Amino acid sequence: MRKTLINPPAFSLLLGAFSHGLRVDLQDAAIVFVTGQLPIDPEGNVVSADVQEQTRYVFENIRTILQCADAEFEDIVKIQIFVADMKYFEAISQVRNEYLKDIRPASTLVAAAGLAVEGCKLEVEAIAMRAS
């Protein structure tokens, strides 16, 4: 087993002992774990007040992490979305479905009492798997 840390240089600074992603190579497969992505730019600012813009930003970050791990959206097997308020469910789902409509991974969406950065309306983490 080999672990590869994934921290794209254009992403925000890490504020703790974690990586934006982690690829674990097994004998014949690789699993990619994507840390919960927030809609914050490299300077740590929330990218927009609009929930759909935040959602697109997060999914594009996930795309970048997957690409760094030689994976793509089609490899996602599980996705978890944490929302600051369930009133954002429909707007987030519309964007989520643009990215995942044909993939249909196992999914969870829950309301969270608070997210790590004020002003963020969602946080998304994912797990992908592909043959190595």
- The pTM of the full predicted model, rounded to 2 decimals, is 0.93
**Whether the Cβ atoms of residue 42 and residue 107 lie closer than 8 Å to each other:** no
pLDDT tens per residue across span 86-104: 999 999 999 999 999 899 9
User: Of 75, 79, 54, 53, which is closest to residue 66 (Cα–Cα)?
Assistant: 75
**Whether the Cβ atoms of residue 131 and residue 75 lie closer than 8 Å to each other:** no
Domains annotated on the chain, with CATH:
2-131 (3.30.1330.40)
**Whether the Cβ atoms of residue 122 and residue 51 lie closer than 8 Å to each other:** yes
Average pLDDT value for the chain:
93
pLDDT tens per residue across span 36-60: 999 999 888 999 999 999 999 999 9
**Whether the Cβ atoms of residue 79 and residue 99 lie closer than 8 Å to each other:** no
pLDDT tens per residue across span 19-34: 899 999 999 999 999 9
